[in-house]
Amino acid sequence: MNERLLGVLRAPLVSEKTARLQEANQYVFEIAQAATKADVKAAVEQLFDVQVEAVNVVTIKGKTKAFRSRLGTRGNRRKAYVRLREGQTIDVMAKA
């Protein structure tokens, strides 16, 4: 079960929008295609030792792009918006 949970979260997404969301105690992660809300909640709670209040999952469809008159499609991505309980934080900018 632990190996499956470790494969759920791919990376934290860091941008201006996610920085503003962190002020409201929300964090954004890129997740695996097959991950469910329950998987994301369990993975965040186990990896960061916090309590999750809510999880919202969004699928971003890949764009169709042309390169040298050949069409191709970028892959789909999924991201999860995770809201933590009051007083909980995650340091996504921590250096390894």
**Extents of the domains making up the chain:** 3-84
What is the pLDDT of the chain when averaged over all its residues? 92
Q: If you average pLDDT over residues 52-65, what whole number do you get?
A: 96
Q: Are 77 and 61 in contact (CB under 8 A)?
A: no
Q: If you average pLDDT over residues 16-44, what whole number do you get?
A: 94
Amino acid at 23: E
Residues 6+ apart with CB under 8 A from 42: 5, 8
Would you say residue 71 has pLDDT above 80?
yes
d(CA 87, CA 44): 16
d(CA 9, CA 65): 27
Would you say residue 94 has pLDDT above 80?
no
pTM of the full structure: 0.86
3-84: which CATH number, 1.10.760.10, 3.40.50.300, 3.30.70.330, 3.40.50.720? 3.30.70.330
Query: What pLDDT is attached to residue 1?
Result: 65
Q: If you average pLDDT over residues 52-57, what whole number do you get?
A: 96
